[in-house]
A and B are shown apart, each in its own frame.
Chain A
Amino acid sequence: MTDLSFVRTEMLPERAPPPSTTGVIGWLRKNLFDGWLNSALTIVSLLFVFWVLDHLFVWGISPTWSDGSLDQCRTTISEAGWGGACWGVIRERWPQMLYGFYPEELRIRPTLAFFLLFIALIPVLFSMISRRMNWLLLALVLLAFTFAVESSGLIIAARVVLAAAALWIGVLLVRVPTGEEREEQIKQGAGRLPNPLWFTALYIFLMPWLLWGGTVWTPVAVALGIVIGGLAFRLLSPMTGTLAALIVAVVATILWWLLLSGPFADMMHGIFPIGLEPVKSRLFGGLMLSITIGVVAIAVSLPLGIVLALGRQSDLLIVKYLSVIFIEFIRGVPLITLLFVASVLLNIFMPPGTNFDIILRVIIMATIFSAAYMAEVIRGGLAALPKGQYEAADALGLDYWKAQRLVIMPQALKISIPGIVSTFIGLFKDTTLVSIIGLMDPIGLSNAIRADANWNGIVWELYGFIALMFFIFTFSMSRYSMYLERRLRTDHR
C-alpha cells in the first residue's frame, strides 16, 4: 500500500498565465481562430461582411443629392458610372417625413415640443444630472427658440428673462462644490431650485397644447380634473380606505373631463382669450406623428400595465377577473383590428355630433394594446420575486399599497426592464400601422411621395431613411435599458 500522507512544506507563489492565452494574440486565437473550422468560418464571414459593405457603400454614396426626380437621378448615375441611391428625394421631402402636412410656419411648435420632451424626460430617466443642469438646459432651449420666432416686444422681454435665468443658474452651477459634497447636494436637491419633475408634470399638458394649439384653457381644464381627483383622494382615503378613495377620485376626474371641462375652458377663453392657432389632427404626420403616438402610449401604458398586473393578482375576485378578461381579450386581438375599431367603429357608438379626435382614438388603442402586454411582463417580474419579500414587508406592518410601492414594485419593475423596454420598442414600431387607417405616418407618407410623378417607383431610399429614423429611437431605448439595469444592479453577483 502506498503512503497517502502528504504535507506541503512551501506555499506556491502566484504566476502569470502563459503569454499565448493573453493579450491580442490570445484573444484572437480564443475567439476567432480556435481550430480550423472556426478559422474558416471567420474568414468566410469576414469576406461576406466586406462584400455587403462594399456594395452598400457604393450604393449609398451615390452623387444624387441635388436631383429633383427619379429620371434625373438615373441620368446622373449613368453619367457618373457609379452610385445607386437617389438621395434627392430625401433632400426634397425630409421636412415632410418629419412633420407630414403640419403647416410649415407652425412647425416650430412640434420642434419645441420635441426638444422639451428631452428636458422633461431627463429627471425621470437619469439620476446623475443635477437640478441646476436641468433647469439651465430648459432655459437655454427656450432661449434658443425665442430666436426662431418673429421678434416682438413680448419675445424680447422673454429673451431677457430667460437669459438672466440661464445666467443665474449657470453661476450657481459653477459654484457647485466638488466631490462628496456635490453628491450630497445632488441628493438633497440643490437647495433653492424646485424639483425639475414639476416641469415634467407641466409638460404633459404643454405638449398637446403646442401640437394641437387652441385655447390654453383646455389643458388647464384637463389639469384641473387631475387636481380634483387628487383632492378627492386626499379627503376620502383616511375615511374610506385607499381603494374606495381611488375609485371615487378616478370617477370624479372622468366626470369632470366629460361634462364640465369643456364648458369651463370655453367660459375662461371668453374672459381671457389666450391661445395658439389650432391645427387639425388630419394634418399631423411623419415622424412627429409616430413620436406623439409612441410617447403618449408608452407613458400611459406603463402605469396602466402595473395596475392591470396588480389587478390580476388581486384577492378581490371582480377586480381579478376584469383584469384577466381585459388582458386576454386585448392580447388576443391584432393591433390592426383595434385600429380599425378606432377609425371606423368607435364613431358608430359615440353619440352623434361628438367629434372624438382620430389621433386620440389611435393613442387610446395603442395604449391599451401595449398595457395588456405590459401587464403580463410585469406579472412575470412579480412572479420572480421570492415570497419572503412579501412576508418581510407584511411582518414589518407595511400595508398592501405601501408594500407594493416600496418593496414589491421597485424590484418587480427592475426584473422586468428588458421586457418592458421590448414592449416599448414594439409599440413604437407598431405606430407605423396607423398608415393602414389613413394617417400620414412615415410609411403613409412614403406612399404619398411615390404618388408624385417625380418620385414614382422610389422605394429603398425612403424605407432606408424611415428605418434609420426608427433605429435611432429604438436603439437609444435599448441602450438606455441596459444602462438602467446596470445602474439598478445591487446584487453584486
Chain B
Amino acid sequence: MSTLETDRKVNRSQMKVSDKVAIEIRKMNKWYGQFHVLRDIDLTVYEGERIVIAGPSGSGKSTLIRCINRLEEHQSGQIIVDGIELSSDLKNIDKVRSEVGMVFQHFNLFPHLTILENCTLAPIWVRKIPRKQAEETAMHFLEKVKIPEQAHKYPGQLSGGQQQRVAIARSLCMMPRIMLFDEPTSALDPEMIKEVLDTMIELAEEGMTMLVVTHEMGFAQQVANRVIFMDAGQIVEQNEPTEFFNNPKSERTKLFLSQIL
C-alpha cells in the first residue's frame, strides 16, 4: 500500500472535529441536461473535518465539490454552507463564495497579475480591505506556503508546484472557513506533489475544514478523518481511513482500491 509522498511527520494534535456543522447536503440531485450526475447526495461535514473524496474518473467528485460553492447549480435538494442555504439568491452565493476557498487542478492563477496581486485582488475588491493591509496578509500567507520571494513575479515564471501553492495562498487570503481542493496535485510532476501536499498537511494541522478530491491515498490515510468513495454520481461508501483501506465493504470500492493501490 502506498504511503504519503512526503517524509513529513503529520501532527494530528490540532486536528479536532467539532460538532458544529460546516456543510449540510440533503438529498441533493444534479443533472447535466438529461444526464443525472449526482444522485441523492446526503453529506454532513463538521467543522475541522478533513474529508478525502475518491472514486473513478467521471463519478461526479468534481461536480459535487463545485456545487458546494455554486460553481455548478443543483436542481433539487438542499446545500447549506455555514448556515447559508444556496439558492439562486446572488447575495447568498457571493457570501458563501467568500467563506469557501477553492483550489483547482490547473491552479487558475490570473496570469496578467503578479503573485502578490493575485493574492490581494479578492481581499481588496470583495472584502474591501485596504491595499496595504491586504498586502501584509498576502505576504504572510506567501511565507506560509514558502514562496515570499516570488511575490513580484508573474504566475508564468513559476513552476507548477509553486503555482499551486500560490493558488492555496490566494484562497487563504480570503480567510475562508472551508477549503475545497479538486485534484490539486494531478497536474504536477512527482517532485512537486510533495511540496503541495506539505502545504495542505500544514493547513490540516491548523484545523482547517477541508474537502479534498485526490488520488493521493497516502494523504488520505495520514491526514483525512473520513474517506468518501463515489461512483456513478452516488456516495457508495464512507468510513474513517484505516477501515476504508483495510476493510472495504462494497465490491466497487474493493475493485477501485485494487486498481489504484
Contact = CB atoms under 8 A, between A and B. Distances in A.
Contacts of A402: 125-126
A493 interface: yes
A406 B121 contact: yes
Q: How large is the interface on A (under 10, 10 to 19, 20 to 34, 35 or more residues)?
A: 20 to 34
B157 A398 contact: no
Contacts of B97: 394-397
Interface stretch (B5-13, B33-41, B103-111, B240-248): B103-111
B112 A488 contact: yes
B156 A398 contact: no
Interface in B76-114: 90, 94-95, 97-98, 100-102, 104, 106, 108-112
B174 interface: yes
B126 A490 contact: no
Please classify how large the interface on chain B is, using the bins under 10, 10 to 19, 20 to 34, 35 or more: 20 to 34
A389 interface: yes
Contact of A397 (B104, B106, B126): B126
B126 A398 contact: yes
B71 A411 contact: no
B156 A396 contact: no
Contacts of A47: none
Contacts of B21: none
A488 to B, nearest CB: 7
B104 A392 contact: yes
A194 interface: no
B111 A491 contact: yes
Given A391-B71, A394-B71, A411-B112, A490 B104 contact: no
Contact of B109 (A392, A394, A399, A492): A392
Contact of A493 (B106, B125, B126, B156): B156
A397 B125 CA distance: 9
Nearest to B155: A490
Interface in B112-129: 112, 121-122, 125-126
A388 interface: yes
A265 B254 CA distance: 83
B110 A389 contact: yes
Contact of A398 (B69, B102, B112, B122): B122
Contacts of B112: 410-411, 414, 488, 490
Contact of A391 (B100, B108, B157, B170): B108
Interface string B50-76: 000000000000000000010100000
B156 A490 contact: yes
A250 B60 CA distance: 45
B154 A396 contact: no
Contacts of B170: 396
B154 A398 contact: no
Given A392-B104, A397-B126, A397-B174, A490 B111 contact: yes
A396 B157 contact: no
Interface of B: 69, 71, 90, 94-95, 97-98, 100-102, 104, 106, 108-112, 121-122, 125-126, 154-157, 170-171, 174
12 contacts: A391-B71, A392-B104, A392-B109, A396-B97, A396-B121, A396-B174, A397-B94, A398-B122, A399-B94, A406-B125, A411-B110, A491-B154
**Which 7 residue pairs across A and B have the least CB separation, nearest first?**
A397-B98, A392-B108, A396-B122, A388-B108, A397-B97, A395-B102, A490-B154
